[in-house]
């Protein structure tokens, strides 16, 4: 299974996937490319570190969605890598019909909440401010509805009395770094 990872930030979830592959814990999946919509994103440094093609793809003209010329550039870049699965690991843009149709049934996303609770931006902060005692992370198929696609798996994270937002973020990253590679492994073995 050929994987393409899309991300916008430092790339900790992409690194977890690449580390799992290196350790033989990714099943029959292998990462063939990493792309970012941010030219200085930390995720791009993973390419050299793991000997995987990585590149910035210009998402213009929009700031929060992938549409128009930017969407066309992303479709071309991802298509060239011939993916069996496109993994959104901190990719901070809303996907539109063109991209979704180009990779229909092949896109999964990691979201930092137990969907359907706290969709959209800042799922961790939303849960923390709301005072819930149990939150977590979700891997789901991507559809037109933001964070609304079929749930593939979830991991629970308990918010303890005395936890700070920073502590919760760390707990969430630990859960995400285990969940996402495990889901990819299962998908690769189907």
pLDDT per residue of the chain (190 residues) written in tens, 0 to 9: 999 999 999 999 999 999 999 999 999 999 999 999 999 999 999 999 999 999 999 999 998 999 999 999 999 999 999 999 999 999 999 999 999 999 999 999 999 999 999 999 999 999 999 999 999 999 999 999 999 999 999 999 999 999 999 999 999 999 999 999 999 999 999 8
Predicted local confidence at residue 190, as pLDDT: 84
Model confidence pTM above 0.85: yes
Q: Which residues are catalytic?
A: 111
CATH 3.40.630.30 fits 2-188, yes or no: no
Question: How confident is the model at residue 18, as a pLDDT?
Answer: 98
In sequence order, which residues have a C-beta less than 8 Å from that of residue 111 and are 6 or more positions away? Answer: 119, 123, 137, 138, 139, 140, 147
Of 161, 157, 151, the C-alpha closest to 124 is 157
Distance CA(101)–CA(120), nearest Å, equals 22
Domain boundaries of the chain, sorted by first residue: 2-188
Distance of CA 168 to the CA centre of its chain: 19
Q: What is the DSSP letter of 104?
A: T
**Alpha carbons 82 and 92: distance in angstroms, whole number:** 22
């Amino acid at each position: 299974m050929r994987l393409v990872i899309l991300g916008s930030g430092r790339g900790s979830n992409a690194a977890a996937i690449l580390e799992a592959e290196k350790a033989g814990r990714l099943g029959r999946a292998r990462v063939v490319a990493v792309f970012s919509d941010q030219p200085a994103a930390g995720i791009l440094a993973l390419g050299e570190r793991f000997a995987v093609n990585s590149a910035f793809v210009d998402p213009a003209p929009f700031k929060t969605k992938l549409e128009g010329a930017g969407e066309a550039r992303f479709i071309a870049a991802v298509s060239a890598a011939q993916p069996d699965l496109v993994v959104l690991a901190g990719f901070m843009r809303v996907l539109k019909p063109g991209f979704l149709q180009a990779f229909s049934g092949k896109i999964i996303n990691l979201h930092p909440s137990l969907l359907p609770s706290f969709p959209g931006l800042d799922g961790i902060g939303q849960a923390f401010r709301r005072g819930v005692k149990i939150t977590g992370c979700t891997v789901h198929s991507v559809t037109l509805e933001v964070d609304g696609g079929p749930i593939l798996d979830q991991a629970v994270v308990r918010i303890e009395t005395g936890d700070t937002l920073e502590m919760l973020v760390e707990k969430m990253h630990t859960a995400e770094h285990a969940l996402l590679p495990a889901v990819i492994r299962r998908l690769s073995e189907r």
